[in-house]
Structure 1
Amino acid sequence: MSAHTRQMTRTPLQTAALVIGIIFLAVGILGFIPGITTDYGAMKFAGHQSGAHLLGLFQVSILHNIVHLIFGVAGVAMARSWTGARNFLIWGGVIYLLLWIYGLLVGHESMANFVPFNTADNWLHFLLGVVMIGLGMALSRGGAGRSGKGPFPI
């Protein structure tokens, strides 16, 4: 096997991070498409006043869509290395669990709901957090890049 072929081989961990990154990119783009995002004309830059809903369910704003795009770019970029992929999945999952808790504690009509979140967003954040952390932990068994080094040795 040539050095070039070895560099192109992705681990399941890297593939999972790449797929999730691509999904976030797609969601960020879809949030800017009228029809896929209902009440598109009611979209605000930020805040709970944004009346747009991705797939008619998830409240979105311009800021919310930009965050999805940035998260997607981070996932795709970090999937290039085993350690990066693991960090993206685990720490990204932690971020989403923190967003879930934040969404539960902050009222939907509160000025603190600046992204914005609704109930569907909150439970999606919980699911994303659990799945991302689960993938990061399950697919990284055996050590970082097979060397045993990394932020969470198993």
Structure 2
Amino acid sequence: MKFTFTIFLFLCTVLAFAQPKLEMTSKGFTPIELPTPNKPNEKLIEASKSWAAFYNKQGYDVYDVTESSLKIDALKKNAYLFRNLGETFSYDITYTLNIVFNADKTYKLQFSVKQIYLKGTPVKTTIPDFFMPDGNLKEDFSDVKPTLEDTANKIAVSFSNFIVN
């Protein structure tokens, strides 16, 4: 039993690292395209709704549902860190997953940040505010990009693993 479980964990880890990564740019996150399991779109849409309920315990909203796409909004606590003068601030976000299931048995996943919160209060900061006009990350925000990308990729991997199984 231990051996089977170890193999299962190994395969899940390999699949998680084999998946393309969401990357944060000055225009937001780049979309990724992944293969879907051999299931009809109706089953994939239902699995997506089930994932939303499973993953987002603090609430979620599924909307713009069509035969081949849907959007999911949810709150993610402690989505990224910002350090300033030795003090660390943890920010929450409301994110949107825009998921489109294609006819060629792939799906496109677009991650976007709708709102950023500090201690439950909305802030006016947006993703482009972390970047200079030339697209490079501002020096003060060196902690933001890796922590927010990590959060986005954990969400994407969770979604991908859920609909595959």
| TM-score of the aligned structures, taking structure 2 as reference length | 0.28
Greater percentage in strand: 2
| TM-score of the aligned structures, taking structure 1 as reference length | 0.29
